[in-house]
Structure 1
Amino acid sequence: MSNATDTFAACLRDLDVAGTVVEFNTDVPTAAAAAERLGCELGAIANSLIFTADDEPLLIVASGAHRVDTKHVGRLLGVRKIRRATPEFVLEATGQPVGGVGPVGHPRPIRTVVDRMLADHREVWAGAGSKHAMFPTTFDELVRITGGLPAGVEKS
């Protein structure tokens, strides 16, 4: 395992996460690439997306099967403006690169929303801190380890 993956795996152990980090020999930077590599449905990929919400980091753990409606999430959270973060902002906020951001293991806690659509899958796969690693988990476990708000992130 790489140093980043070792560090992430240690974080998962500290959080009593049952699943273990799986490393791939190639990057899996998109939900579609990850689903193809894992042989699972696109909706079972838990994308850890970093946004800026009134200039603060916001993590939305979203199902790979749809896009986040930032206006809807903004109304839900009572924030004025949610924007996609720059790669530099993502790295600073999470310590992890775009395409490999995990739901945990960040230098500081980040306000988090977990997409309820992930509950439709018995097992979901989330990034593990690098572009070539993921780990299996569940919706309930994602909510527990992130302290996230379970919510719909797509306009209904």
Structure 2
Amino acid sequence: MTKGISPRFAAALDELGLGEVAARVRSFPEATRTAAEAAAAIGCELSQICKSLVFAADGAPVLVLMDGASRVDVARVRAELRVEQVTRARADVVRETTGYAIGGVPPFGHRTRTRVLADRSLLAHDVVWAAAGTPFTVFPMEPKDLVTHAGGTFVDVREQ
């Protein structure tokens, strides 16, 4: 059975004046929790997937938007944020911070406001695909628009 768009994400789209994005959300009968699963379901390159990853930077949540073919270099995130320690956030922290479960975290429309870093690798594509609030839904958007709506800053934080 195909799952629909998350009500929380639909409300966030309306708040941002992006109601038309809801019409472009694609739902899949199988979960697209990983970038590889999402790329296979959509039929796009792995690097066209925008992963929304939550880290703890000296204990404070920070969202990193990364292309699906790359890994986050936590040392680069630490340097960018000028903090002592950066670790992956626990699943309960991700849900508490964003309002979504890991595998369905969209790049914006979160429960709380966090700092957002977006890797420049996303700019290699005209369109990227991101989670739409569930592990079964994704939506397309131009990378610059996506990062603007997320309140993010473009940085270089992927592993080389």
| Band of TM-score, shorter chain | over 0.9
Shift of 1:77: 1.4
Whole-Å Cα distance in 1 between the matches of residues 5 and 103 of structure 2? 14
TM-score, scaled to structure 1: 0.93
Whole-Å Cα distance in 2 between the matches of residues 93 and 119 of structure 1? 26
Q: Does 1:42 align with 2:46?
A: yes
Whole-Å Cα distance in 2 between the matches of residues 22 and 70 of structure 1? 31
CA RMSD of aligned residues (A): 1.7
Q: Secondary structure at the match of 2:12?
A: helix
Deviations 1:84-127 (A, max 9, x none): 01111111111100111111121111110011101101110001
TM-score, scaled to structure 2: 0.91
Deviations 1:2-51 (A, max 9, x none): 68613312312332335332221111000000000000000000000001
Whole-Å Cα distance in 1 between the matches of residues 9 and 159 of structure 2? 32
Shift of 1:143: 1.7
| Residue pairs, 1:91-130, within 5 angstroms | 91-130=95-134
Residue 78 (structure 1) aligns with? 82
Q: 1:69 aligns with which of 73, 83, 100?
A: 73
Whole-Å Cα distance in 2 between the matches of residues 22 and 44 of structure 1? 15
Q: Secondary structure at the match of 1:88?
A: helix
Identity, in percent, stands at 39
User: What letter matches 2:11 in structure 1?
Assistant: A
Q: Does 1:60 align with 2:67?
A: no
Gaps of 5+ in 1: none
User: What letter matches 2:7 in structure 1?
Assistant: D
Q: Does 1:21 align with 2:25?
A: yes
Deviations 1:114-153 (A, max 9, x none): 1110110111000111111111111111221011110111
Whole-Å Cα distance in 2 between the matches of residues 69 and 4 of structure 1? 31
Work out whether residues 61 and 114 of structure 1, in 8 Å CA contact, stay in contact via their aligned partners in 2. yes
Whole-Å Cα distance in 2 between the matches of residues 118 and 46 of structure 1? 7
Shift of 1:79: 1.2
Gaps of 5+ in 2: none
